[in-house]
Amino acid sequence: MPHITVQHFPQDLGEERRASFVAAVTEAVTAAFGVGEGAVSIALEPVPAEDWEDRVHAPQIVGRADLLVKSPAY
């Protein structure tokens, strides 16, 4: 605990950007939840743009709006 899944349009972050992203998210999560970095897991899930509405927006953003801590501006 905790586990973070980031769904995003497919994009190759490259090794350096990916490592930087993972480090930043891990730092934020460990600070917020008071856990060691060994407790944090992170998954990156590419979702094609044409599938975004059905796989992410409708079920997870609109359908679970009560859980959002930040809403998108679209």
Q: φ, ψ for residue 7 (rounded to 5)?
A: -95, 135
Q: Is 48 within 8 Å of 58 (Cβ atoms)?
A: no
Q: What is the dihedral of CA 23, 39, 29, 54, to 10 degrees?
A: 90
Burial of residue 44 (number of CB atoms within 10 Å: 0-12, 13-18, 19+): middle
Query: pTM for this one?
Result: 0.90
pLDDT at 11: 96
pLDDT of residue 73: 95
CA dihedral 18, 3, 23, 39 (to 10 degrees): -140
pLDDT score recorded for residue 35: 98
Give pLDDT tens digits for 3-55.
Answer: 999 999 999 999 999 999 999 999 999 999 999 999 999 999 999 999 999 99
